[in-house]
Amino acid sequence: MSWRHITAGLLVVLTAIVVQTALLNRFIPGVSPDLLIALVTAAGLVGGPPRGAVTGLFCGLFTDLMVDRLLGLGTISMVAAGLISGLLGQGLFRENFVVPFLVGGVVTACRQSLFYLGALAFGVHIPFGESLTAVVIPSICYNGLLTGLLFPLWQRLVRRLYRL
The mean-pLDDT minimum among 64-73, 80-89, 113-122 falls in 64-73
Average pLDDT score over the chain? 84
Please compute, for residue 25, the number of CA atoms within 13 A of its CA located in the half-sphere on the CB side: 9
pLDDT at 27 over 70: no
Exposed / middle / buried, residue 22 (Cβ in 10 Å: 0-12, 13-18, 19+)? exposed
Average pLDDT of span 112-117: 88
Query: What CATH number is associated with residue 65?
Result: 1.10.1760
2 contact partners, CB below 8 Å, separation of at least 6: none
| Domain count within the chain | 1
Q: Are 63 and 78 in contact (CB under 8 A)?
A: yes
Residue 28 has pLDDT above 70, yes or no: no
Per-residue H/E/C for the chain: CCHHHHHHHHHHHHHHHHHHHHCHHHCECCECCCHHHHHHHHHHHHHHHHHHHHHHHHHHHHHHHHCCCCCCHHHHHHHHHHHHHHHHHHHCCCCCCCHHHHHHHHHHHHHHHHHHHHHHHCCCCCCHHHHHHHHHHHHHHHHHHHHHHHHHHHHHHHHHHHCC
pLDDT of residue 108: 92
Q: Which domain holds residue 129?
A: 3-162
pTM, rounded to two decimals: 0.84
pLDDT at res. 56: 93
Q: Is the dihedral of CA 50, 161, 101, 40 positive or negative?
A: positive
